[in-house]
Chains A and B, each alone.
Chain A
């Protein structure tokens, strides 16, 4: 009886492990997200804050999922070249210039964008490095 319970519990555990981590994409996403969180702390958090809330009407929040979705193609360009123009987020116009981060590699941008678009109430899946490379070539 006891051996039966143990073997059932063991097989359940195996199934759980497979379900949670077997897909390769899931592992990749987790890696992107974890690394992205570190990059965010170094390059973004000072202005956009730990919780992505920004600063009053000075620095825009990263919590506007609709904005992130609609401007998904431009997000990498914002990071690489910064912003000198005004930007409207959540109905508020922001004018503070955003510094360029030209030294960041495409893979790091992909990771930090994966972190941003899946934190602060956003849930938009992985932002792949190939997508970043394609979008950077089309920056305005």
Chain B
């Protein structure tokens, strides 16, 4: 009888320990293929881009090479889910305010209205600076293509959606090697808390 209890406790303990070990590293998401040598795996990575931020500075993979970042797609006049997403991104912004390994990228999907000065004004009103949080401007097709093929996200014109554009509310977590490490519902406070926990796990990889 006693031995049974002992076995139960120790197996429980083992499960807990192994679970923790699994959680210590984030998976790499997206498509993958086998390299020419037949051994290595090539993971999906964020394609090259070159987009203006709210201060008219070009941002690309090079300027982000020492940072992990959270990417999302929005537009400033969006009446549906964007305000909640921005409120949640502000939580992330405030937590990592002094950590220069972290950045946030918000791509506008309404370049017709959201010019660089409009984005600048929006960023100012949120009380954030381009040191941490870039509001990126680019041609519509470029951004939509980035969303679909780069971030596995979704944005398209839709006359039925409030504001005329429909898009997903996902936050994508990208590591320093341009790999996608997580996707979270940006309108859900709990998932954003999970994202921040995962960001800490990811940052620990670079210590």
Contact = CB atoms under 8 A, between A and B. Distances in A.
B83 A55 contact: yes
B87 A57 contact: no
Nearest to A45: B84
A66 B86 CA distance: 27
Interface residues of B, number: 15
B77 A49 contact: no
B162 A99 contact: yes
A137 interface: no
A83 interface: no
B7 to A, nearest CB: 47
A7 interface: no
Contacts of B139: none
B49 to A, nearest CB: 26
B83 A59 contact: yes
Interface string B71-94: 000000101110110110010000
B144 to A, nearest CB: 23
B84 to A, nearest CB: 6
Contacts of B83: 46-47, 49, 55, 58-59
Interface stretch (B25-33, B52-60, B122-130, B149-157): B122-130
A46 B162 CA distance: 12
Give the contact-size bracket for chain A.
10 to 19
Mostly helix, strand, loop or mixed at chain A's interface? Answer: loop
A58 B85 CA distance: 13
A6 interface: no
Contact of A46 (B84, B122, B125): B84
Contacts of B126: 55-58
B125 A57 contact: yes
B162 A57 contact: no
A55 B79 contact: no
Given A49-B87, A99-B162, A57 B127 contact: yes
Interface in B79-132: 79-81, 83-84, 86-87, 90, 122, 124-127
A35 to B, nearest CB: 22
Contact of B79 (A46, A49, A56, A57): A46
B164 to A, nearest CB: 12
A97 interface: yes
B84 A49 contact: yes
Nearest to B128: A56
A56 B127 contact: yes
Contacts of B125: 56-58
Contacts of A96: 77
Interface of A: 46-47, 49, 55-59, 96-97, 99
5 pairs of A and B residues whose beta carbons are closest in the complex:
A57-B125, A47-B83, A56-B126, A58-B125, A55-B83
Interface of B: 77, 79-81, 83-84, 86-87, 90, 122, 124-127, 162
21 contacts: A46-B79, A46-B80, A46-B81, A46-B83, A49-B87, A55-B86, A55-B90, A56-B86, A56-B125, A57-B124, A57-B125, A57-B126, A58-B83, A58-B86, A58-B122, A58-B125, A58-B126, A59-B83, A96-B77, A97-B77, A99-B79
